[in-house]
Amino acid sequence: MRPEILFPFFKPITALKGVGPRISVLMEKITGPHIVDILWHLPSSYVDRRFSPKISDAPDHTVVTLDITVMKHYPSRNRRAPYKIACFDETGPMDLVFFNARGDYLKKQLPEGERRIISGTVERFNGVLQMTHPDHIGLPEELETIQTVDPVYPLTAGVTNKTMGKAVTSALEQVVDLPEWLDLSFKTKQGWDNWKESLIKAHHPVEEEDFFADHPARARLAYDELLANQLALALVRRTVRKASGRIIKGDGHLRQKVRDSLPFALTGSQEESLKEIADDMAQPLRMLRLLQGDVGSGKTVVALLTALNAIEAGMQAVIMAPTEILARQHMETIEPLLAGTGITPIILTGRDKGKKREAILDQIKSGKAQLAIGTHALFQEDVEFDNLGLAVIDEQHRFGVHQRLAMAGKGQHVDVLVMTATPIPRTLMLTAYGDMDVSRLLEKPAGRKPVDTRVMALNKLEDVAHGIGRMVSKGARIYWVCPLVEESDKIEIAAAEERFSHLKSLYGDRVGLVHGKMKPTEKDTVMAAFARGDIDVLVATTVIEVGVNVPEATVMIVEHAERFGLAQLHQLRGRIGRGMDASTCILLYGAPLSENGQARLKIMRETEDGFVIAEEDLRLRGAGEVLGTRQSGLPEFRLALLPAHENLLAAARDDVKLILEKDPELQTERGQALRTLLYLFEEDACVTYLRSG
């Protein structure tokens, strides 16, 4: 249960001054629903009102705070004309200008003949200084409160900076300082303040440096967030591992049979990973391991041989994919490889219903099905296993962190191997998995030819459309990827359909189309036709992104490549260069291309190393954008900025290790404070993994 001290933090934002029910709806969109969310909403810039020149010295286009006397009001003569108020100081005159003004209100605020303090941006019109809509109007004695630095917040339509500033001030007033969860010597060494002081400072920037990632206030808040993240992950992981696993150690007879039938030798990386995984499975602890391998690095074979290890030991294994297409593809790859082993894999996806599904469930429950391949349908509640020993989860970056944990909870003693083709930069790996065991397939299977990547402007599209004719006639198979439209699936599909009919007019029946809104059976039919070579040109939206394997495909064209994330482009390009023939990738961009866009496409041209691409992507775009966070399942941070706070992340990880060694159940005074930290960052679920304090 959330500690009482945090109750005020989780009150709705309507409990703040100036936040009514109407404004709160708008505000929530960018902050979140609770007071704590307002605290995390840090300013992005500031307005310095400390400059107070005389009227004649005020420079154009600057923010100034002036001490003036009101001379005369000139109400607007019609609705569009401005309301003007002539003012002066000892150096000269100036005008205040208001549009859509209420005269009675202005008369009260700025009575003729009286002194007032005003603050805002000034400029000169026909030599006369003018301030339109002052940000502040106050009495002479309010000079010092106005003459400060105002934080400027990221806003949304309908919420002014004043409203946001008031809400933040009110939020800061309502919350108390919290017991210190930082290690004191570390805190001193970093030169950090207490939590609340840091928060107040972060909300009151007075110079450029206050926005730097290494500014003490910002750094401390970022560290707190990263510490909560690392602690939560460590607790989950410890709980999963602690659930005693079983020793899984097959005799190797099935694996040998499959190895003998493979048309290739395993790469060094594959062998090494298999050994690491087998060693892990042989431990009495529960395995929770990540197999990281770029597209085409040969993860499927590793998954199969790992599954066979469990099956040799008399247990069942599942291999789970995020989509129907991929599950079927795994089935098609794996089934023939099992010929001669006496093992018949079964497949279960969301498409299986009624009697058919029941029959499959029976086989799984009786243990007759030793290997089950499928989608998340395999993890529905009514799916019972006889003796599940291993779950392989493929391409799991499509699943969120929490889903992943739920899956790990499915079988009590099940070893879990998650496979990802997304080369997540090390930094981000840590935020999503903590210190998870990782095996990596760094080596590509032999015989791969590098993909020749070219970058061209979209106005070359007609040339490209005609140019592929030559390739088609030589038997090449071509992916044509249509632009990503973030806002609308409909527009995306319409674009794909248009390109489809365009290419059909050139190449007739040799062209096929797949997109996300097609029925799974229709999609499969088209994909299968492409795999067989009945179709040569496959027009697609990004549904082909993950995992699909057609070794004969040697050309990929991507429209509006600049709209895709680098990781996504890398995934797409990984669909080609899988066979023995040389491959070409053409990235078409919409001009003009931003500098950042140029840099990103340049990386695509220069390297095929997924890890290099991922690191560069992180550097160029920041963590928020990498991998399209929406679908990546990576956590989003409010205060920490990656990669800028990378060093803090590493420190938090080490900190957590020490904390859990010394105080595994968070019982000490610092431990209690850390529990509060977990609640503060809404990691409530993780606290349940601890003995009650």
The total of other beta-carbon atoms located within 10 Å of residue 175's CB is 19
- Tell me the two tokens of residue 687: 């606290």
Which CB atom, from 39 or from 325, has the smaller least distance to Mg ion?
325
**Contact at 8 Å (CB) between 277 and 308?**
no
Q: Is 547 in the site for Mg ion (CB under 5 A)?
A: yes
Q: Is 373 in the site for ligand ADP (CB under 6 A)?
A: no
Residues between 223 and 282 with contacts to ligand ADP, criterion CB under 6 A: 264, 266-267, 270
Nearest to 135 by CA among 200, 209, 62, 38: 62
Q: Is 611 in the site for ligand ADP (CB under 6 A)?
A: no
* Shortest Cβ 266–ligand ADP spacing (Å): 5
**Looking up tokens 């929406």, which residue turns up?**
630
Q: Is 295 in the site for ligand ADP (CB under 6 A)?
A: yes
Q: What is the dihedral of CA 190, 682, 381, 325, to 10 degrees?
A: -60
| Distance in angstroms (rounded) separating the CA atoms of residues 515 and 543 | 6
* Shortest Cβ 639–ligand ADP spacing (Å): 36
| Distance in angstroms (rounded) separating the CA atoms of residues 498 and 502 | 6
* Shortest Cβ 296–ligand ADP spacing (Å): 5
Segment interacting with ligand ADP (CB under 6 A) among 179-187, 291-299, 515-523, 623-631: 291-299
* Shortest Cβ 575–Mg ion spacing (Å): 11
Residues between 576 and 595 with contacts to ligand ADP, criterion CB under 6 A: 578
* Shortest Cβ 421–ligand ADP spacing (Å): 5
Nearest to 231 by CA among 658, 693, 600: 658
State the maximum Cα–Cα separation within the chain, in Å, rounded to a whole number.
Answer: 101
* Shortest Cβ 443–ligand ADP spacing (Å): 9
* HSE toward the beta carbon, residue 177, CA cutoff 13 A: 10
* Shortest Cβ 556–ligand ADP spacing (Å): 15
* Shortest Cβ 446–ligand ADP spacing (Å): 6
Segment interacting with Mg ion (CB under 5 A) among 42-50, 547-555, 577-585, 616-624: 547-555
Q: Is 572 in the site for ligand ADP (CB under 6 A)?
A: no
Q: Is 425 in the site for Mg ion (CB under 5 A)?
A: no
Which partner in ligand ADP, Mg ion, none is near 267 (CB below 5 to 8 A by kind)? ligand ADP
Q: Is 293 in the site for ligand ADP (CB under 6 A)?
A: yes
Which partner in ligand ADP, Mg ion, none is near 264 (CB below 5 to 8 A by kind)? ligand ADP
Tell me the residue nearest to ligand ADP as measured from the CB. Answer: 298
**Contact at 8 Å (CB) between 34 and 28?**
no
Q: Is 551 in the site for ligand ADP (CB under 6 A)?
A: yes
3-state secondary structure 544-575: HCCCCCCCCEEEEEECCHHHCCHHHHHHHHCC
Cα dist from 133 to 108, 115, 259, 343, whole Å: 15, 17, 78, 78
* Shortest Cβ 388–Mg ion spacing (Å): 22
Q: Is 138 in the site for Mg ion (CB under 5 A)?
A: no
Q: Is 300 in the site for ligand ADP (CB under 6 A)?
A: yes
**Contact at 8 Å (CB) between 258 and 305?**
yes
Segment interacting with Mg ion (CB under 5 A) among 103-111, 215-223, 410-418, 545-553: 545-553
Which partner in ligand ADP, Mg ion, none is near 297 (CB below 5 to 8 A by kind)? ligand ADP
Segment interacting with Mg ion (CB under 5 A) among 204-212, 458-466, 490-498, 539-547: 539-547
Q: Is 298 in the site for ligand ADP (CB under 6 A)?
A: yes
- Tell me the two tokens of residue 654: 């080490």
Q: Which residues of 81-91 are buried (b: 16+ CB within 10 A; e: fewer)?
A: ebbbbebebee
Nearest to 300 by CA among 325, 263, 330: 330
DSSP annotation string for 189-249:
HHT---HHHHHHHHTS--SGGGGSTTSHHHHHHHHHHHHHHHHHHHHHHHHHHHS------
Residues between 150 and 209 with contacts to ligand ADP, criterion CB under 6 A: none
| Distance in angstroms (rounded) separating the CA atoms of residues 34 and 680 | 11
Which CB atom, from 322 or from 389, has the smaller least distance to Mg ion?
322
Angle between helix axes 253-261 and 299-312 (nearest 10 degrees) is 150
Q: Is 421 in the site for ligand ADP (CB under 6 A)?
A: yes
Q: Which positions touch Mg ion (CB under 5 A)?
A: 547
Q: Which positions touch ligand ADP (CB under 6 A)?
A: 264, 266-267, 270, 293, 295-301, 421, 445-446, 549, 551, 578
